[in-house]
Structure 1
Amino acid sequence: MEYIDKEFCLEVWGPMACFTRPELKVERVSYDVITPSAARAIFEAIFWKPAIHWQVTKIEMLNPIKWTSVRRNEVGAVASKNPIFIEDKRQQKNTLCLKDVRYRIWAKLEFIPVRKRKGEQPSLFDETAHPDENPAKYNAMFERRASKGQCFNQPYLGTRECSCSFRLVNPETEELDAPISENRDLGIMLYDMDFEHNLKNPPAMFYRAQMENGVINVPPKDSEEILR
């Protein structure tokens, strides 16, 4: 049976954000904008089940890109059986992050039929055997949770110390603020991790991000635009 994936919209904002570039490991440096994987994680923090997958489709910039720098002390050792003398292991690290961010994120709730989750052909899906398995149920659950501000864990913008607020947007009844008027080639950006083919050590996927009038269109994960 065919289903139409429903698209939802969230407005998210926070005082700070850091979407760390993987090529810079010693000093943390953020991408200019939120990555699709970080956007997906916000939707999953509100609602996730094995029967669904979130596919981010569009990111709209509502605030201009602004930067700030944070220097802090960190412990350069892993806790083990031996105690750590902090004064010997203390390191100063600098983080170049974003400040005063606000995004409007669009994502589709993709329903995964039971038999497809078990590795069988999706055409073998039997509604009579699983009457409660339908996308309408999950769509309603997400709308209810997001409209009430409920989440399984606190959503964050890249790193856990950069927590964010969110609200569900209804584009049919609301007058939406226009994105910023800016075009920018954001270069090669982290898309997501390929958990579908390797759960233990998933490889990274990248894509070329282009911002046009404050809007970044995100390709689907099986698109030729995805670099593996």
Structure 2
Amino acid sequence: MGYGIALEVWGAYGLFTRPEMKVERVSYDVLTPSAARGIIEAIYWKPAISWHIDRIHVYNPIEFTNIRRNEVSSKISASIVDSVMKGSAKPLYINTNADRQQRASMVLKNVRYIIQAHFELTDKAGETDTVEKHYNIALRKMRNGQCYHNPYFGCREFPANFRLVEGDFPKSGLTGERDLGYMLYDIDFTNLEDIKPTFFRAIMRDGVIDLSDCEVFR
């Protein structure tokens, strides 16, 4: 993988919600591959490339804390947006005072990871889209701390700091093997009529979750 990157990310909190929790939000033990991809895509994404996560290095001990957050209980439906675009006078907003509700969340605290990833060209790449071109742009943005929008750890309330790691990086202080169970891998948008989540068995060895050859379940 000559065009891979290593990106260090860290922050005060992270919330990578388990889908089986229906009422209160409970985070997975570590950053999920889909959240890691979202962080990188917040920095640099184009239709011509597709990012793939190879490894997640976990540096800080896994710690949880409970917080309460205000959330809205509804969202604007696509049908209402479509009606307004066609001239309807329906309200196109959410009344946060009426829809606000308080929910408890079990979140991670003091998180720090190094994400190893690479990208591949997609079928939307044009004649001017080369691997070298996109690689150099991604490196420049990561070196300069630039991004399309601020990356975050699962929720926008939990921003992620980032820096490009060049050369060797330290080994994790976590040792031994830890089975983290089945975790969300990504969302499969191949069939837009039948969007499905995919999962994998997360095994952390000496602080590293290797995704380069993991089995994905649908």
- Normalised by the length of structure 1, the TM-score is 0.81
Answer yes or no: is 1:177 the counterpart of 2:179: no
Q: Please list, as runs of the form range in 1=range in 2, the aligned pairs for 1:100-139 lying within 5 A after superposition.
A: 100-112=110-122, 116-117=123-124, 130=127, 132-139=128-135
Residues 5 and 109, structure 1, Cα contact 8 Å, conserved in 2: no
Alignment partner, residue 9 of structure 1: 6
1:84: how far off? 5.2
Question: Partners in 1 of 2:195 and 2:155 — Cα distance?
Answer: 19
Alignment partner, residue 226 of structure 1: 216
Point out where structure 1 has 5 or more consecutive residues left out of the alignment: 119-128
Answer yes or no: is 1:93 the counterpart of 2:108: no
Answer yes or no: is 1:213 the counterpart of 2:206: yes
Q: Please list, as runs of the form range in 1=range in 2, the aligned pairs for 1:43-58 lying within 5 A after superposition.
A: 43-58=40-55
Residues 45 and 152, structure 1, Cα contact 8 Å, conserved in 2: yes
1:117: how far off? 3.3
Given the superposition, is the C-alpha separation of residues 89 and 159 from structure 1 closer, same or farther in structure 2, using an over 3 Å criterion? Answer: closer
Answer yes or no: is 1:186 the counterpart of 2:170: no
Question: Partners in 2 of 1:160 and 1:5 — Cα distance?
Answer: 32
1:159: how far off? 1.1
Structure 1: 4+ residue segments shifted above 6 A:
none
Partner amino acid for 1:204?
Answer: P
Question: 1:51-107 CA deviation, whole Å, 9 max, x = no partner?
Answer: 111000000011111111002344445578498594x75533110000000000000
Residue correspondences, number: 203
Match of 1:32 among 5, 29, 32: 29
Indicate the SS of the match to 1:117.
coil
Question: Partners in 2 of 1:105 and 1:7 — Cα distance?
Answer: 10
Answer yes or no: is 1:203 the counterpart of 2:213: no
- Normalised by the length of structure 2, the TM-score is 0.84
Partner amino acid for 1:146?
Answer: M
Indicate the SS of the match to 2:216.
coil
Identity across the alignment (%)? 45
Question: Partners in 2 of 1:213 and 1:40 — Cα distance?
Answer: 22
Question: Partners in 2 of 1:77 and 1:117 — Cα distance?
Answer: 35
Alignment partner, residue 66 of structure 2: 69
